């Protein structure tokens, strides 16, 4: 498995990561099989969040499953989403953050988190307060590096400037939506990530499954799929524009003896600022497919053709 560095940190991760948002929803034995296969195949980046798995379930399962293997992986988690129904909380504040990290460490059964990420901006808290609290966690050895998620380009620039001015730890990653069907990040976000020495970790890299090739236009999604379970995802991605792009991409892949899944992974990894493609899995076979999918090296001509096909994205 190839590895890339997280921004300007010393942490290297596998180019295929495991998104752990299904853990805590899956039964623990199903989650264990996925984790076992991922570690066996050389996946080192495991990305979770305190909110995943119905508020805490994903971290709890990982804590139970990893055991001694914890030291062999790069464990990423997040804070800042609602862990209860109290909307008055400032979830980027120092007080909240200190409680959140201790709760995550306890659930994960570990002494440290490799990459601790602000899940979304907190309008109630100045960014400097959040960064100073994170800086303290790094100094205490509870966190190795920090990242952000869902910050706009201007927010990334501001956070980097604050960190430089204060002489404190800076974000090394940004986790944001990016895929063949959602390319908005290229306009402002990715340039901001690059100029601040950060790495992009794309979420929804497969457009919630539309880029796996398992769905067809005009056919209702199976009940056990994400689109079948969650109407908001099918409403968002299953539109005529996206279907047209997907069908054109499928023809592009067929002419090269490749799959749509291979294209989705390999195209993402053709971008230098991207560190790892984090994809969820509910079955061990999906780990194998994701790893295989990352092996295609696209030519400049192929990338240009993909740009033409996905222009509307």
List active site positions: 52
Sign of the four-CA dihedral 263, 291, 25, 185: negative
Residue 262 host element (H or E): helix 260-269
- The residue with tokens 């195949």 is 41
- Angle 263-187-162 from CA coordinates, rounded to 5°: 115
CA nearest to 81, candidates 175, 154, 145, 186: 175
> Quick one: residue 250, left, alpha or beta (phi over 0 = left, psi -120 to 50 = alpha)?
alpha
Rounded CA-CA distance 70/158 in Å is 34
Pairing of strands 3-5, 45-47: unpaired
What span, in angstroms and rounded, lies between the C-alpha atoms of 275 and 9?
A: 12
Burial class of residue 104, CB neighbours in 10 A (0-12, 13-18, 19+): buried
Locate 242 and state its tokens: 């996206």
**d(C-alpha 181, C-alpha 205), whole Å:** 9
The encoded tokens of residue 295 equal: 């092996």
With the C-alpha atoms ordered 67, 25, 42, 145, is the resulting torsion angle positive or negative? negative
Q: How many CB atoms lie within 10 A of CB 14?
A: 24
Tell me if 17 sits within 8 A of 277, measured CB to CB.
yes
Spatial distance between the Cα atoms of 285 and 261, rounded to a whole number of angstroms: 14
């Amino acid at each position: 498995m190839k590895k890339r560095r997280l921004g300007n940190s010393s942490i290297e991760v596998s180019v295929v990561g495991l998104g752990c948002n299904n853990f805590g929803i899956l039964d623990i034995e199903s989650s264990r099989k996925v984790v076992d296969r991922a570690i066996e195949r050389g996946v080192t980046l495991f990305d979770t969040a305190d909110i995943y798995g119905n508020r805490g379930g994903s971290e709890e399962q990982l804590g139970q499953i990893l055991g001694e293997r914890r030291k062999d992986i790069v464990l990423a988690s997040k804070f800042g989403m609602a862990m209860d129904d109290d909307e008055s909380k400032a979830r980027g504040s120092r007080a909240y953050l200190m409680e959140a990290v201790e709760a995550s460490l306890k659930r994960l059964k570990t002494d440290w988190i490799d990459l601790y990420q602000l899940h979304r901006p907190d309008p109630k808290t100045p960014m400097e307060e959040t960064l100073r609290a994170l800086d303290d966690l790094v100094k205490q050895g509870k966190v190795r590096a920090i990242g952000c998620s869902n910050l706009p380009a201007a927010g990334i620039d501001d956070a980097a400037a604050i960190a430089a001015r204060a002489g404190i730890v800076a974000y090394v990653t940004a986790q944001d939506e990016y895929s063949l069907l959602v390319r908005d990040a290229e306009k402002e976000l990715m340039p901001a990530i690059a100029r601040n020495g950060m790495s992009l970790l794309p979420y929804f890299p497969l457009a919630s499954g539309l880029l796996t090739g398992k769905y067809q236009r005009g056919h209702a999604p199976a009940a056990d799929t994400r689109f079948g379970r969650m109407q908001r995802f099918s409403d968002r991605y299953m539109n005529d524009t996206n279907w047209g792009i997907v069908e054109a991409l499928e023809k592009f892949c067929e002419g090269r003896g490749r799959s749509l899944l291979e294209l989705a992974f390999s195209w993402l990894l053709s971008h230098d600022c991207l560190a790892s493609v984090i994809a969820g899995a509910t079955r061990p076979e999906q780990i194998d497919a994701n790893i295989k999918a990352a092996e295609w090296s696209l030519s400049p001509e192929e990338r240009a053709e993909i740009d033409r096909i996905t222009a509307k994205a």
